[in-house]
Chains A and B, each alone.
Chain A
């Protein structure tokens, strides 16, 4: 157990729908990162939050949004879902907001869009 908790583990939904993925970071970690792993792809950085504020943005679609709450958990909202959004979504956390810290990953949420 890495200490990073992601729910749900699996999610099946239809095109056009909206889903919310949730992440609780490791105790004491202030930064949360979201990554997407599509089939046969490496992990693609989506977005980072540090202590409630957006810190960095990667290749995140406009249909996707995220936030980090005062208790430091984070949610990734995916809307108007398309077949191509089917992927593993990983959350990771670190203590700080920058520097060469090691990311601790959760087990991921597998999203299937039918």
Chain B
């Protein structure tokens, strides 16, 4: 049973445009959500997070939106840059317990110059 779903295996956008990566979850106990970015031959690196008490968190070009009623979150990257090309993983945890991060399968983002 996949509790965190990233339904788009890949996404391609033009440099300078907006990238929107989506994530759905099924477990209503999840209360903390994170996005990780992964380059080839490297481990995932933390990008941005959001607590369930918020509906938006912004950090520079990256904004995460949370819609609790729809159990949906999205990551917006504006403007997209070629260096953003990577696999993006959505992750969630329940009760503030980071040790049981549940990850989605990831979305490969390609930003074309």
> Interface of A with B (CB < 8 Å)?
2, 4, 31, 33, 35, 40-45, 48, 55-56, 58, 90, 92, 94, 97-108
> Interface of B with A (CB < 8 Å)?
2, 4, 32, 34, 36, 41-46, 49, 51, 89, 91, 93, 96-106
In the complex, the 3 A-B pairs of residues with the closest C-beta atoms, listed nearest first = A105-B43, A42-B103, A43-B103
Across the interface, which residues of B come within 8 angstroms of A56, CB to CB? 97, 99-100
Kindly identify which residue among A42, A98, A105 contacts B45, using a CB–CB cutoff of 8 Å. A105
Across the interface, which residues of A come within 8 angstroms of B104, CB to CB? 42
Q: How far is B104's CA from A101's CA once the two chains are assembled, in angstroms?
A: 19
The answer to whether A98 touches B96 (Cβ under 8 A) is: yes
Kindly identify which residue among A42, A101, A106, A107 contacts B98, using a CB–CB cutoff of 8 Å. A101
Across the interface, which residues of B come within 8 angstroms of A43, CB to CB? 44, 89, 91, 101, 103
Across the interface, which residues of B come within 8 angstroms of A31, CB to CB? 99
Given the known interface contacts A42-B4, A42-B89, A100-B51, the answer about A2 and B45 at a Cβ–Cβ threshold of 8 Å is yes
Given the known interface contacts A2-B43, A42-B89, A90-B43, the answer about A103 and B98 at a Cβ–Cβ threshold of 8 Å is yes
Q: How far is B52's CA from A1's CA once the two chains are assembled, in angstroms?
A: 31
Across the interface, which residues of A come within 8 angstroms of B105, CB to CB? 40-42
From B36, B97, B99, B100, residue with most partner A Cβ within 10 Å:
B99
